[in-house]
Amino acid sequence: MKVLSRLRTPTYQNTGSVARDHLALERTFLAWLRTGLGFVALGIAMERLAQLDLTAVLPTPPLPRPSERQKVSSDTLVGALLGTGGGAIAYGTARYFSTMRMLERGLFRPAYYGAGAFGVAVAGLAGTVYWAAVSDRRGDGEACGE
């Protein structure tokens, strides 16, 4: 039973904003977790959609088969979505525990770089998806204006 007692979270006196800070930290962690799971779910959905054979389902004329380049592009996008989601979950978890330890000591460190890096990663992912969609529509592998 001694092992289980070490897993319990400590109870603090609610002096000032201790409880409020810890509850806000927990909400922030859950937001990182939801964001990461959203990216992972989108990646899994895209992978499953790429495996679907719509020619048997649709009564329209047969659709052209995706090229090898489109398959590689789809696999890359799925990998990027899964990596971004996993990264958000890992960062949120690490940030939660490090901030919790700091709050217990009465300190706080804002997260400038982590949130900024995640924003840059999502913007890069969105730009890459847009570029791939434009180049696939043109069919020549180059984005507009190049």
67 vs 129, more confident: 129
Q: Would you tell me how many other CB atoms lie within 10 Å of the CB of residue 120?
A: 10
Predicted structure pTM score: 0.71
With beta carbons less than 8 A apart as the criterion, state whether 66 and 97 touch.
no
pLDDT(102) > 80: yes
- Distance separating alpha carbons of residues 86 and 93, to the nearest angstrom: 11
Please list, in sequence order, all residues whose beta carbon lies within 8 angstroms of the beta carbon of residue 47, skipping any fewer than 6 positions away: 74, 78
Higher pLDDT, 44 or 6: 44
Q: Between 142 and 101, name the one with better pLDDT.
A: 101
In angstroms, the first-to-last Cα distance of the chain is 67
The whole-angstrom separation of Cα 146 and Cα 142 is 7
Q: Tens digits of per-residue pLDDT, 35-86?
A: 999 999 999 998 888 777 666 666 666 556 666 666 667 788 889 999 999 9
> For residue 29, is pLDDT > 90?
yes
Domain boundaries, the chain: 20-138
Tokens 């990264």 belong to 87
Q: Are 96 and 41 in contact (CB under 8 A)?
A: no
Residue 97 has pLDDT above 90, yes or no: yes
In 25-118 the beta strands, taken as DSSP E runs, fall at: none
Give the residue-averaged pLDDT of 24-36.
Answer: 95
